[in-house]
Copies of this chain bind each other. A is one copy, B any other.
């Protein structure tokens, strides 16, 4: 092996990543999100590259396999959802903040229509990804839930994990027709149920009623 003078000196010195590389990576992710959501997970990677305005080689350097790309797109969206929770922490009404976040989460699932199969595959090969997202989402819910509890507006015996599990369970049926409005309705009922009952609860609900006969959690 050849020894290069000064090698060790610079071994731990990290160079600032090139600006264009960072930019291109972001572009590809954005393009992939659009293309996959529209054309399903079978969509051509060349189409993604073209949409991102980069060469196919660039795409492959950043994401050596198709799964890598799926994973990165998904991870990014989970992070965005997590950041949304950060922002919502500064909202006035804690209960409303939680409600909004939950709705965004449902929307997130909805846009994943075509990707669900791909994600199932990816989750299988990388349980680290599953752990990461569970953790991130639990923390997001937790921060919103805690605030509502601290404000005395919600019962304290529900854990973030419980709520997340309920959310996922509800969304699990997301290939039935009309699932989305059904889930939104159930979430509203759920949040109502979480709330500590006061006179203020007579507040008007914005969601349109599904069926007049729909039972109300007491």
Contact = CB atoms under 8 A, between A and B. Distances in A.
Chain A interface extent, by class: 10 to 19
Copies of this chain in its oligomeric complex: 2
Interface string A167-193: 000000001100000000000000000
A120 B123 contact: no
A175 B130 CA distance: 11
A30 to B, nearest CB: 24
A47 interface: no
Contact of A117 (B124, B127, B175, B176): B124
Contact of A116 (B118, B124, B175): B124
A43 interface: no
Contacts of A124: 116-117, 175
A120 B122 CA distance: 13
A176 B130 CA distance: 11
Contacts of A117: 117-118, 120-121, 124
Contacts of A127: 175-176
